[in-house]
């Protein structure tokens, strides 16, 4: 009898989780008529194709994860048994398939797998026969008998081990990931081993006792090496001499190219966690059996290299935090930012105190354990201990006290350190909130975090989360996927090489959440949660958990709106606002200019810039909340001066030689930087009715003037036209304001009788310049009303006034956001008076810098009528309908 062989190419059909098809088992796949016709086409075209030597009507079934649509490395060749129409749904067919053999898939399969026409199968054809050999050491039968109902016992007795392994994982509710893993283990012995482990776990989770002679501790035959030596591979080698008689030196068993890896393993043994040691033992053993030319070899070797590269118990040198030094360091690196520096120092102080308390209590406990106290004595010491602990806790502010836990260390410390199921208690883990620095770009968030790492003596690593939209980028890919890699956090740990670095999560607000590729912010949540991050599971690292509990996380963001609220809940927000011109000037003088001069290779006698020049650069060449662009412009000036200096040193005749001028003068600025793009942001000088200064906030922290223009178009019918890329909310707000002004046209003197049309054959055009920039939100409501009133009454508005605030249909002025940025922007533009809702007064008083507050007159209004009177005086109510206004004002 000839053994059937697989064709060299197969059409592939995805099988959604939780189903996984194994050889000799069956699965039903629901398909729509379109999908079914694709399958039939693919199978038919395969018949005449290259696969002519194979069995006919065969397909490949590929397990696909439901949530991220990724395709595993292995699938199962199958035969179509039947196709039936579903009786429940109209356009639904059930394809019944029977698995034949495991197939390895080509590397380049796309992550989203639809039905794919014949794909070449890379390896040589497999035999379809069930392997008859049953490895006795990996007998699963006793476990199966325990787990399956009695009526099945007689039937499973006769099954070959490999088939039994596949049947057991299919029917016993094993999770999808493990099933995919098992599909990818062609070696029967290894597969049975793994199934055995899974079944033992299953039994312990269900509280079933393993059959006699089998217990969780007892390793299987594939781990026999470890059984014989009773210690992990890493230890046996150092004792190799004593073991030579039993021939158990693992180095002898490993191929030559694996020996450097093994030596590294031995070197790092004391720093590795228990699970890491177990996994490395298993993987090294497995790797030594895989032929080096196989693709699997590379995958397994890279995995081992990754485990060996992680820090585990390795930490930065012991350090003491010196608060004065830390403050000096922050001051030396940053100008201003007093509130933020103060908060950072508080954070350090509390952190130091908590750590000191922890170390003290640790030492006391150790002392207590070592002295062999009588029971009675030890009881009294414990009491005393508790009292001291309570006294120490008194020193900590009550808000911080909650997060401190001084763990109870059981008598035998060793047990705990060796047990990976609980966090080790011999290291201090901070459970305080994560600092989240929020503010516009370039205000020094990242550089504050760097200074903090420096003063803490920790290694620093920055993870940029901008554009992370796949959960796998945080949590890694499973090793079964082609080109799998660990997530960003594990990569960071490998890079810093210690388990207590400071990791800066930059741009936390740019993480996408709840998308097609899983939820990266949910993965971050686990990493940032002190209750669970000592045991962070990266998909790539498999069983080896990573301890992130000693990492100090600091996050930055430009805005809070887009951060998922559970994530925000774990953070303490520190706001970093934009700078005003005098602050920028001072930063430029003290930091940016010296830095740029140094970068050009010169010193401060060779380039000089006075305040006037720097102020011109700030006002005319930058328009930003931070100082990044300012630094760039100063850099341009310095480079140009460096060129002049360099030329002046060239050997030329004395009469051609021009003396080098170190001073950058006002004329140089325009010559070097070109014509200013911005100029001093000034309100329009051309005063005409219908134009008003609103205020805008662009979300990235920049505020400024938002000029509103309105125009009457003759020959119209009272229509309102809006332009300037306005969003839906903005447009609704304009309509509302338009209605309000029309309804008050009599009292405003626009019309003379209630029946008169205020627009009298005109249309109104409402526009906001810079039409390429999208604008939205209701905060231009008050300004819009004033613009319409100005247009229809013909009274212009003073250019030094700016107005912001939402308005309701009844004319109430409602609170708006971004006040600080708007006010700073208005101040930059030279505005002298700002009209805004009274409910925003606290924002002005607490957030706006005093320097700005003193320069601007703030007018707080509750009702739109007050705003109108503030701009034009009470005379505006020229119409006779004053009673109506009074009544309305009471509403």
Ligand X SMILES: Nc1ncnc2c1ncn2[C@@H]1O[C@H](COP(=O)(O)OP(=O)(O)OP(=O)(O)O)[C@@H](O)[C@H]1O
Residue ranges for the binding site for ATP?
439-446
Sign of the C-alpha dihedral, residues 791, 792, 796, 800? negative
Tell me if 600 contacts ligand X by CB under 6 A.
no
Walk across the sheet containing 502-506 and list its strands. 460-464, 502-506, 552-557, 434-438, 571-575
Contact between 645 and 604 under an 8 Å Cβ cutoff? The reply is: no
Q: Tell me the two tokens of residue 799.
A: 């250019």
Catalytic status, residue 779? yes
Q: What is d(CA 434, CA 616) in angstroms, rounded to the nearest whole number?
A: 39
Q: How far is the CB of 440 from ligand X (least distance, A)?
A: 7
Q: How far is the CB of 504 from ligand X (least distance, A)?
A: 9
* Bridge partners, 119 (sequence order): 10
Give the largest CA-CA distance in the chain.
116
- Select 274 or 636, whichever has its Cβ closest to ligand X: 636
Site string for ligand X, 150-189 (x = CB under 6 A): ----------------------------------------
**Size, binding site for ligand X by CB under 6 A:** 20
Dihedral over alpha carbons 459, 465, 466, 469 (to 10 degrees): 160
- Select 340 or 642, whichever has its Cβ closest to ligand X: 340
Contact between 296 and 279 under an 8 Å Cβ cutoff? The reply is: no
Strands, E, within 292-428: which ranges?
none
- Select 445 or 827, whichever has its Cβ closest to ligand X: 445
Site string for ligand X, 844-873 (x = CB under 6 A): ------------------------------
Provide the annotated binding site. Answer: 439-446
- Select 330 or 474, whichever has its Cβ closest to ligand X: 330
Q: What is d(CA 108, CA 96) in angstroms, rounded to the nearest whole number?
A: 27
Helix, strand, coil percentages (3-state) for the chain, rounded to 5, are 45, 15, 40
Q: What is d(CA 50, CA 43) in angstroms, rounded to the nearest whole number?
A: 12
Q: How far is the CB of 590 from ligand X (least distance, A)?
A: 7
**479 class by beta-carbon count within 10 Å (0-12 exposed, 13-18 middle, 19+ buried):** buried
Q: How far is the CB of 701 from ligand X (least distance, A)?
A: 8
* Near ligand X in 404-423, by CB under 6 A: none
- Select 579 or 766, whichever has its Cβ closest to ligand X: 579
**Residue of 121, 254, 563, 627 interacting with ligand X (CB under 6 A):** 627
Q: What is d(CA 418, CA 407) in angstroms, rounded to the nearest whole number?
A: 17
**Residue of 220, 316, 499, 556 interacting with ligand X (CB under 6 A):** 556
- Select 484 or 638, whichever has its Cβ closest to ligand X: 638
- Select 65 or 587, whichever has its Cβ closest to ligand X: 587
Q: What distance lies between CA 692 and its chain's CA centroid?
A: 41
Site string for ligand X, 220-259 (x = CB under 6 A): ----------------------------------------
Q: How far is the CB of 446 from ligand X (least distance, A)?
A: 3
Q: What is d(CA 408, CA 642) in angstroms, rounded to the nearest whole number?
A: 64
**Residue of 608, 628, 725, 767 interacting with ligand X (CB under 6 A):** 628
- Select 591 or 762, whichever has its Cβ closest to ligand X: 591
Q: What is d(CA 168, CA 154) in angstroms, rounded to the nearest whole number?
A: 15
18 upstream amide cis, omega within 30 of 0: yes
Site string for ligand X, 253-292 (x = CB under 6 A): ----------------------------------------
- Cα dist. 259→229, 234, 256, 279 in Å? 19, 12, 5, 17
Q: What is d(CA 549, CA 315) in angstroms, rounded to the nearest whole number?
A: 12
Q: Which range touches ligand X (CB under 6 A), out of 624-632, 672-680, 851-859, 866-874? A: 624-632
Q: Which range touches ligand X (CB under 6 A), out of 280-288, 627-635, 672-680, 688-696? A: 627-635
Q: Tell me the two tokens of residue 625.
A: 């909340």
Q: Which range touches ligand X (CB under 6 A), out of 65-73, 436-444, 536-544, 719-727? A: 436-444
Catalytic residue among 779, 790, 820, 863: 779
Q: How far is the CB of 515 from ligand X (least distance, A)?
A: 23
- Select 486 or 578, whichever has its Cβ closest to ligand X: 578
Q: What distance lies between CA 721 and its chain's CA centroid?
A: 42
**Other Cβ atoms closer than 10 A to 564:** 19
- Select 280 or 554, whichever has its Cβ closest to ligand X: 554
Q: Which range touches ligand X (CB under 6 A), out of 323-331, 435-443, 610-618, 710-718? A: 435-443
Q: How far is the CB of 450 from ligand X (least distance, A)?
A: 8
Q: Tell me the two tokens of residue 81.
A: 């048994």
**Residue of 62, 330, 587, 816 interacting with ligand X (CB under 6 A):** 587
Catalytic residue among 584, 775, 820, 822: 822
* Near ligand X in 442-461, by CB under 6 A: 442-447
Residues 6+ apart with CB under 8 A from 562: 509, 510
Q: Which range touches ligand X (CB under 6 A), out of 48-56, 178-186, 441-449, 487-495? A: 441-449
Q: How far is the CB of 574 from ligand X (least distance, A)?
A: 12
Q: What is d(CA 482, CA 299) in angstroms, rounded to the nearest whole number?
A: 9
Q: How far is the CB of 853 from ligand X (least distance, A)?
A: 20
Site string for ligand X, 91-110 (x = CB under 6 A): --------------------
Q: What is d(CA 63, CA 74) in angstroms, rounded to the nearest whole number?
A: 8
Tokens 């009695």 belong to 150
- Select 308 or 448, whichever has its Cβ closest to ligand X: 448
Tell me if 591 contacts ligand X by CB under 6 A.
yes
**Residue of 558, 577, 747, 804 interacting with ligand X (CB under 6 A):** 558
- Separation of first and last alpha carbons in the chain: 97
Q: What is d(CA 674, CA 592) in angstroms, rounded to the nearest whole number?
A: 20
H or E segment to which residue 333 belongs: helix 323-333
* Near ligand X in 474-533, by CB under 6 A: 506
Q: How far is the CB of 614 from ligand X (least distance, A)?
A: 14
Q: Which range touches ligand X (CB under 6 A), out of 170-178, 309-317, 382-390, 622-630? A: 622-630
Q: At what angle do helices 375-394 and 338-370 cross, to 10 degrees?
A: 170
Residue closest to ligand X when measured from CB atoms: 444
Q: Which range touches ligand X (CB under 6 A), out of 169-177, 191-199, 439-447, 617-625? A: 439-447
**Residue of 51, 54, 441, 501 interacting with ligand X (CB under 6 A):** 441
Q: How far is the CB of 865 from ligand X (least distance, A)?
A: 42
Walk across the sheet containing 9-16 and list its strands. 26-31, 93-104, 74-85, 58-64, 9-16, 116-120
Q: How far is the CB of 73 from ligand X (least distance, A)?
A: 38
Residues 6+ apart with CB under 8 A from 651: none
Q: Which range touches ligand X (CB under 6 A), out of 250-258, 529-537, 621-629, 682-690? A: 621-629
Contact between 580 and 855 under an 8 Å Cβ cutoff? The reply is: no
* Near ligand X in 318-347, by CB under 6 A: 334-337
Catalytic status, residue 822? yes
- Cα dist. 498→316, 501, 546, 833 in Å? 6, 6, 12, 55
Closest by CA to 745, choosing from 698, 793, 807, is 793
Q: Which residues bind ligand X (CB under 6 A)?
A: 334-337, 441-447, 506, 556, 558, 587, 591, 626-628, 631
Catalytic residues: 779, 822
């Amino acid at each position: 009898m000839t053994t059937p062989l697989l064709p060299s190419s197969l059409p592939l059909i995805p099988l959604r989780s939780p189903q996984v098809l194994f050889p000799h088992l069956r699965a039903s796949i629901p398909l729509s008529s379109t999908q079914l016709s694709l399958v039939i086409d693919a199978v038919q075209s395969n018949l005449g194709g290259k696969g002519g030597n194979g069995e006919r009507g065969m397909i490949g079934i590929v397990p696909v994860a439901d949530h991220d649509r990724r395709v595993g490395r292995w699938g199962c060749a199958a035969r179509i048994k039947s196709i039936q129409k579903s009786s429940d749904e109209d356009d639904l067919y059930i394809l019944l398939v029977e698995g034949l053999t495991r197939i390895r898939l080509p590397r380049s399969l796309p992550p989203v797998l639809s039905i794919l026409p014949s794909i070449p199968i890379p390896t040589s054809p497999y035999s379809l026969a069930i392997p008859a050999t049953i490895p006795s050491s990996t007998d699963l039968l006793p476990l199966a008998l325990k787990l399956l109902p009695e009526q099945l016992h007689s039937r499973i007795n006769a099954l070959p081990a490999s088939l039994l392994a596949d049947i057991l994982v299919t029917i016993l509710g094993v999770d999808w990931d493990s099933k995919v893993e098992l599909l990818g283990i062609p070696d029967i012995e290894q597969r049975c081993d793994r199934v055995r482990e899974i079944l033992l776990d299953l039994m312990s989770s269900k509280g079933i006792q393993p059959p006699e002679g089998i217990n969780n501790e007892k390793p299987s035959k594939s781990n026999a090496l470890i059984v014989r030596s009773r210690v992990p591979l890493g230890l046996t080698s150092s004792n190799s001499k004593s073991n030579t008689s039993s021939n158990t030196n693992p180095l002898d068993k490993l191929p030559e190219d694996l020996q450097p890896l093994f030596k590294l393993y031995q070197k790092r043994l004391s720093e590795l966690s228990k699970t890491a040691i177990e996994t490395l033992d298993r993987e090294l053993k497995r790797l030594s059996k895989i032929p080096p030319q196989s693709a699997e070899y590379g995958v397994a070797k890279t995995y081992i290299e990754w485990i060996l590269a992680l820090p585990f118990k390795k930490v930065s040198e012991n350090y003491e935090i010196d608060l004065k030094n830390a403050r000096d360091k922050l001051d030396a690196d940053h100008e201003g930012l007093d509130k933020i520096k103060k908060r950072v120092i508080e954070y350090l102080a509390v952190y130091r105190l908590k750590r000191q308390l922890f170390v003290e209590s640790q030492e006391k406990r150790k002392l207590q354990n070592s002295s062999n106290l009588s029971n009675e004595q030890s009881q009294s010491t414990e009491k005393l201990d508790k009292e001291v602990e309570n006294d120490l806790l008194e020193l900590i502010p009550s808000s911080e006290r909650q997060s401190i836990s001084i763990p109870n260390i059981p008598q035998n410390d060793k047990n705990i350190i060796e047990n990976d199921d609980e966090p080790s208690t011999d290291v201090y883990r901070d459970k305080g909130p994560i600092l989240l620095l929020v503010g516009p770009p370039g205000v020094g968030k990242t550089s504050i975090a760097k200074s903090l790492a420096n003063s803490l003596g920790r290694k620093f690593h920055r993870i940029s989360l901008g554009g992370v939209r796949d959960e796998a980028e945080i949590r890694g890919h499973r090793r079964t996927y082609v080109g799998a890699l660990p997530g960003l956090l594990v990569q960071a740990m490998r890079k810093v090489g210690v388990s207590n670095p400071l990791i800066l999560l930059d741009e936390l607000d740019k993480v996408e959440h709840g998308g097609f590729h899983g939820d990266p912010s949910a993965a971050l949540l686990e990493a940032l949660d002190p209750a669970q991050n000592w045991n962070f599971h990266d998909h790539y690292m498999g069983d080896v958990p990573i301890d992130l509990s000693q990492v100090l996380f600091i996050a930055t963001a430009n805005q809070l709106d887009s951060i998922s609220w559970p994530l925000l809940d774990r953070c303490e927000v520190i706001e970093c606002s934009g700078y005003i011109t005098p602050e920028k000037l001072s930063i430029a003088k003290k930091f940016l200019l010296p830095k740029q001069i140094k970068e050009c290779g010169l010193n401060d006698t060779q380039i000089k810039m006075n305040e006037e020049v720097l102020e011109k650069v700030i006002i005319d060449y930058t328009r930003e909340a931070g100082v990044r662009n300012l630094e760039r412009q100063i850099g341009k000036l310095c480079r140009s001066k460096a060129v002049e200096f360099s030329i002046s040193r060239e050997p030329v005749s004395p009469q051609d030689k021009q003396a080098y001028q170190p001073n950058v003068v006002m004329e140089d600025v325009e010559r070097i930087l070109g014509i200013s793009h911005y100029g001093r942001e000034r309100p329009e000088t051309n005063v005409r009715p219908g134009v008003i200064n609103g205020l805008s906030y662009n979300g990235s922290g920049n505020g400024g003037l938002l000029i509103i223009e309105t125009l009457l178009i003759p020959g119209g019918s009272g229509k309102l036209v809006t332009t300037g890329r306005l969003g839906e909310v903005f447009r609704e707000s304009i309509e509302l304001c338009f209605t309000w002004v029309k309804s008050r046209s009599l009292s405003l003197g626009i019309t003379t009788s209630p029946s008169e049309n205020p627009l009298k054959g005109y249309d109104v055009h409402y526009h906001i310049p810079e039409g390429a920039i999208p604008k939205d939100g209701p905060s231009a409501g008050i300004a819009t009303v004033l613009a319409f009133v100005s247009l229809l009454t013909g009274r212009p508005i003073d250019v030094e006034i700016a107005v912001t605030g939402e308005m309701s249909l009844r004319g109430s002025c409602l609170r708006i956001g971004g006040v600080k940025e708007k006010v700073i922007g208005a101040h930059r533009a030279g505005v002298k008076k700002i009209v805004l809702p009274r409910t925003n007064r606290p924002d002005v008083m607490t957030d706006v810098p005093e320097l700005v507050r003193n320069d601007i007159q703030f007018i707080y209004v509750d009702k739109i009528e007050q705003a109108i009177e503030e701009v034009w005086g009470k005379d505006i109510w020229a119409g006779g309908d004053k009673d109506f206004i009074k009544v309305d004002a009471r509403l």
